[in-house]
Amino acid sequence: MTQPTRALPLSPGDSPAIGGPLGPYPRGWFLVRFSDELAPGVAVPIRYFGEDLVLFRGESGAVKILDAFCPHLGAHLGHGGKVEGDQIRCPFHAWRFDGDGVCTDVPYASRIPPRARVACWPVVERDGMIFVWHDPEHGPPDWELPSLASLLEEGRFTAWSHSVLEIKTHPREIVENLVDTAHFMPVHGTRADKFRNEYLGHVAVQHNSGVAYPLGGGEDAYDLTATYYGPAYMVTHMRGVRESLIINAHTPIGPNLLHLRFAVALRQQGDREISPEFTARYIDNLRRGYQQDVEIWEHKVFRERPLLSECDGEFGNLRRWYRAFYEPRASKGAAE
């Protein structure tokens, strides 16, 4: 009988979910809200990448994200700031800033200080989702997000049903699910019969088919393609008992804390409408599945040099792909 391998002690590269050689936040597009969560004329305080920000939708419908604190005396624009047209007015002394962060009005002064501005973050609203671009070097976006309009706008799928979890972990723990086929059965009760990965610049793909045994009972023979576009936004096209599009997107709040947003759109079947009850059960099953991972993510350490078997997934390839989003743009390994 083979004796069990003694657990490896922590090495200098290992850490409780954070740390190691990676910086806290990668370069890429990050989902901050679904479109139906932000009404016109509303300013919302948000905190991501260790930064305080203000998110607002102007009267034209344009979405903007600015640094939160007024350069005058430091008031937070998201707490009491008023949206006027496509601009926002500070709640403290009523300085007004346009969508690019430039001060356009100091109501009690005849001259606007020339450096009166706050930083503006690149934002894209696409397919019912709002994304912000983060780059530690403050550079422009390296790539464009894909469009799902050919599916969603033809009425083939329902509108997004979405939810969010706050998780105490480093984003890399979530990304490694892309290659970790060995955890499917013990954690999720899913048998992966065929499984492979590919890496194409800033894109990483999982091709996976097998049989799932949902928490609610029964079984579901599935075939899916899960695609990461950059380090934090994954779209899964799944065919099984029902065809669905699933969004899995994580956005760091701080070094060891993130929001995981997920959503599902179900394929319509002829003229039959999908009931809200069925959609709610589907979403609840997804949420429960994520919670199975969360319980592990929040209590594990990260092995920089893991002890792997020959049947484990492509952790080396995945980690090289993911690391590129933390490297300077000039680095040879940076994603293109």
Please give the domain boundaries of the chain with CATH numbers for all domains.
28-134 (2.102.10.10), 149-325 (3.90.380.10)
3-state secondary structure of 311: coil
pLDDT at 1 over 70: no
**How is residue 196 written in tokens?**
């492979």
Confidence band for 297, pLDDT divided at 50, 70 and 90: very high
> Model pTM?
0.90
What percent of the chain lies above the pLDDT cut of 70?
Answer: 90
Confidence band for 233, pLDDT divided at 50, 70 and 90: very high
Spatial CA neighbour of 169 closest among 298, 82, 40:
298
Alpha carbon 110 to its chain's center = 44
pLDDT per residue as tens digits for the range 82-136: 999 999 999 999 999 999 999 999 999 999 999 999 999 999 999 999 999 999 9
**How is residue 184 written in tokens?**
């499917």
The CB density around residue 229, as the number of other CB atoms within 10 Å, is 19
Point out the least confidently predicted range of 47-61, 90-104, 128-142, 276-290.
276-290
Point out the least confidently predicted range of 65-79, 97-111, 114-128, 186-200.
186-200
Considering only residues 130 and 275, tell me which one the structure prediction assigns the higher pLDDT. Answer: 130
Task: Return all residues near 11 (Cβ < 8 A) that are at least 6 apart.
Answer: 304, 305
Query: How many residues comprise the chain?
Result: 336
Instruction: State the sign of the Cα–Cα–Cα–Cα dihedral 288, 247, 245, 40.
Output: positive
Contact 194, 221 (CB under 8 A): no
Q: How far apart are CA 45 and CA 65, in angstroms?
A: 10
Q: What is the mean pLDDT of the chain?
A: 88
Confidence band for 198, pLDDT divided at 50, 70 and 90: very high
The CB density around residue 88, as the number of other CB atoms within 10 Å, is 26
Residue in this structure with the two tokens 């609203």, named with its chain if needed: 125
Q: What is the CA radius of gyration of the chain?
A: 22
- Listed in sequence order, the DSSP H helices in the chain are 149-152, 171-175, 276-297, 315-323
Overall average pLDDT of the 227-239 stretch: 96
Point out the least confidently predicted range of 23-32, 73-82, 148-157, 212-221.
212-221
pLDDT at 217 over 70: no
Q: How far apart are CA 281 and CA 301, in angstroms?
A: 33
Q: How far apart are CA 182 and CA 320, in angstroms?
A: 20
What DSSP assignment string belongs to 162-187?
Answer: EEEEEE-S-HHHHHGGGT-GGGIIII
Contact 99, 58 (CB under 8 A): yes
* Alpha-carbon distance values, 212 to 152, 196, 279 (Å): 26, 17, 18
Spatial CA neighbour of 46 closest among 62, 28, 66, 61:
66
**How is residue 54 written in tokens?**
């203000």
Considering only residues 241 and 95, tell me which one the structure prediction assigns the higher pLDDT. Answer: 95
The pLDDT assigned to 154 comes to 76
Q: How far apart are CA 212 and CA 184, in angstroms?
A: 9
